[in-house]
């Protein structure tokens, strides 16, 4: 009888240990032995004195060891510290209370405005919900930050434009609801300022803004100056500054996308903005190299080519709502063929190039219209709109081709009718393309202004 009970008991018990010990720390990479776990499992690491406890994620295995990347500073833990597997993947609790708030990469508020239905001890919830996805819990929902892949057959085509409020974009590079656009520029050319301008002026139900790897000083600047109280009222800001561990910078992009998915599931049109995607890739590079991957291009590891499309495919048009994605990409060394810019351009539905040359002329937003494209504009813009935009492009291109001749006075008017019109209208075209950051322009007004320039 006792044997029977014992056998029954043993058949239910878990023979695998979920505890391990730290055997090595190199830089910010922690190696543990004796731990039974899967990739992506969140573990707790406790210092030998018991004073310090932190969370870390399993990112790889080398020989008999488990490679972990911590979510926090590793100060205080060391050889022999205990590692416990929570047997859960990272999840965040999302709710409507997030609107108007600033949270960190684990969706915990950092703005001193109180609770958002997400407790500081988010991990406790993980144990309770296990691996359940989209589990209802109180006034919020637990979402896996990895997202749930959607059936491409169930994605409706993008038909409707979204009003960005920036004339150069709405007029010349129209973006559709659910489209994914990149803003590409070298450092200091105006990416963040343009993102702020869009966040303030766009017509969307909710903005989710991820600030990945930005300078700490820029956060308040962005919230107070660029977003303003009006913009913040319908936005969720997710932040991981440059001094935070790679894991947090990487999760920041995923958490923001997850929050956007929550609002999309409510049937809303969401604008997801990321400043910037290159910093996410850099964080992924740090994680990949720590996990033992080999660097392939500029130190980036092969997994970046799998994680990038996975992240970018999560925005788009869906049957119940839409996530329009605007991703800033830092073009390293102003080389637009560097691997991240090149890869991102190939995945998304259009690119807005910012030009240092244009910014130097104090022309803001410094968009190089002729070098930019919205791949869906021809499908979503009206025929009248397409016609004036095409005409404006033609005049700008004609002027640009002969700019050197014109500036030295070598062009004789009358020799090229298109160029004559371009020379006459270039001032008003440039004036149209410039816009102060504080003013948004309605879609119809933008088109009316374009018609005014082209038809007169």
Ligand X SMILES: Nc1ncnc2c1ncn2[C@@H]1O[C@H](COP(=O)(O)OP(=O)(O)OP(=O)(O)O)[C@@H](O)[C@H]1O
Which chain residues interact with ligand X by CB under 6 A? 185, 187-193, 330, 364-365, 437
Q: In this complex, which beta carbon is closest to Mg ion, that of residue 191 or of residue 285?
A: 191
193 near Mg ion, rule: CB under 5 A: no
278 near Mg ion, rule: CB under 5 A: no
Residue 193 binding partner per list Mg ion, ligand X, none, with a CB distance cut-off of 5 to 8 Å that depends on partner kind: ligand X
CA-CA distance, 257 to 214, in Å (whole number)? Answer: 18
Minimum distance from CB of 364 to ligand X (Å)?
A: 3
Burial 271-298 (b: 16+ CB within 10 A, else e): bbbbbbbbbbbbbbbbbbbbbebeeeee
First to last CA, the chain: 99
The count of C-alpha atoms lying within 13 angstroms of the C-alpha of 165, restricted to the half-sphere facing its C-beta, is 18
CA-CA distance, 107 to 140, in Å (whole number)? Answer: 12
Interface size with Mg ion, residues (CB under 5 A): 2
Among residues 29, 81, 102, 192, the one that binds Mg ion under rule CB under 5 A: 192
Q: Which residue has the tokens 């878990």?
A: 14
Q: In this complex, which beta carbon is closest to ligand X, that of residue 188 or of residue 383?
A: 188
Minimum distance from CB of 212 to ligand X (Å)?
A: 11
Query: For residue 316, what is the enclosing H or E element?
Result: strand 316-317
Minimum distance from CB of 230 to ligand X (Å)?
A: 18
Q: What number of residues does the chain have?
A: 456
Residue 365 binding partner per list ligand X, Mg ion, none, with a CB distance cut-off of 5 to 8 Å that depends on partner kind: ligand X
CA-CA distance, 77 to 49, in Å (whole number)? Answer: 9
Relative to beta strand 65-70, strand 322-330 is unpaired
Minimum distance from CB of 300 to Mg ion (Å)?
A: 21
The count of C-alpha atoms lying within 13 angstroms of the C-alpha of 363, restricted to the half-sphere facing its C-beta, is 18
- Check residue 176 and report its DSSP letter: B
Q: In this complex, which beta carbon is closest to Mg ion, that of residue 104 or of residue 192?
A: 192
Window of 78-86, 185-193, 242-250, 292-300 that interacts with Mg ion by CB under 5 A: 185-193
Instruction: Quickly list H helices, 23-152.
Output: 122-129
Q: In this complex, which beta carbon is closest to ligand X, that of residue 125 or of residue 190?
A: 190
Residue 330 binding partner per list ligand X, Mg ion, none, with a CB distance cut-off of 5 to 8 Å that depends on partner kind: ligand X
Minimum distance from CB of 280 to ligand X (Å)?
A: 14
Q: In this complex, which beta carbon is closest to Mg ion, that of residue 273 or of residue 441?
A: 273
Q: In this complex, which beta carbon is closest to Mg ion, that of residue 192 or of residue 437?
A: 192
Residues contributing to the site for Mg ion (CB under 5 A) = 191-192
């Amino acid at each position: 009888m006792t044997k029977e009970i014992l056998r029954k008991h043993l058949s239910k018990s878990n023979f695998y240990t979920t505890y391990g010990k730290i055997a090595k720390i190199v830089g910010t990479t922690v190696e543990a032995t004796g731990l039974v776990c899967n990739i992506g499992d969140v573990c707790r690491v406790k210092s030998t004195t018991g004073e310090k406890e932190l969370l870390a994620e399993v990112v790889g295995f080398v020989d008999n060891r488990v490679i972990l990347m911590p979510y926090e500073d590793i100060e205080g833990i060391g050889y022999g510290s205990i590692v416990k597997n929570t047997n859960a993947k990272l999840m965040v609790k999302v709710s409507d209370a997030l609107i108007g708030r600033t949270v960190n990469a684990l969706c915990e508020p950092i703005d001193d405005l109180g609770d958002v239905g997400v407790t500081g001890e988010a991990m406790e919830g993980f144990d309770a919900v296990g691996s359940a996805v989209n589990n209802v819990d109180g006034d919020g929902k637990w979402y896996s930050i990895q997202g749930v892949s959607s059936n491409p057959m169930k994605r409706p085509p993008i038909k409707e434009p979204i009003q960005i409020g920036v004339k150069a974009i709405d007029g010349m590079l129209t973006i559709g609801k659910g489209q994914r656009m990149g803003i590409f520029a070298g450092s200091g050319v105006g990416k963040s300022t343009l993102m702020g301008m869009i966040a303030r002026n766009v017509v969307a139900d909710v903005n989710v803004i991820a600030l990945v790897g930005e300078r700490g000083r820029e956060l308040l600047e962005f919230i107070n100056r660029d977003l303003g109280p009006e913009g913040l009222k319908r936005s969720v800001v997710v932040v991981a500054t440059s001094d935070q561990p790679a894991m947090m910078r990487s999760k920041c992009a995923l958490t923001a996308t997850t929050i956007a998915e929550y609002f999309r599931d409510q049937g809303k049109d969401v604008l997801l903005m990321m400043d910037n995607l290159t910093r996410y890739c850099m964080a992924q590079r740090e994680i990949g190299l720590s996990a033992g991957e080999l660097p392939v291009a500029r130190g980036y590891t092969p997994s970046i080519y799998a994680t990038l499309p996975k992240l970018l495919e999560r925005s788009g048009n869906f049957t119940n709502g839409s996530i329009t994605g605007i991703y800033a990409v830092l073009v390293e060394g102003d080389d637009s063929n560097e691997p991240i810019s090149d890869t991102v351009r190939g995945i998304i539905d259009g690119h807005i190039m910012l030009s240092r040359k244009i910014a130097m002329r104090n022309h803001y937003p410094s968009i190089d219209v002729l070098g930019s494209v919205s791949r869906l504009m021809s499908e979503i813009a009206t025929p009248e709109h397409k016609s004036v935009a095409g005409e404006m492009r033609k005049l700008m291109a004609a002027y640009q081709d002969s700019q050197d001749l014109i500036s030295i006075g070598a062009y004789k008017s009358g020799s090229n009718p298109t160029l004559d019109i371009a020379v006459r209208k270039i001032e008003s075209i440039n004036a149209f393309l410039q816009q102060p950051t504080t003013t948004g322009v309605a879609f119809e007004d933008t088109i009316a202004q374009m018609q005014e320039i082209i038809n007169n």
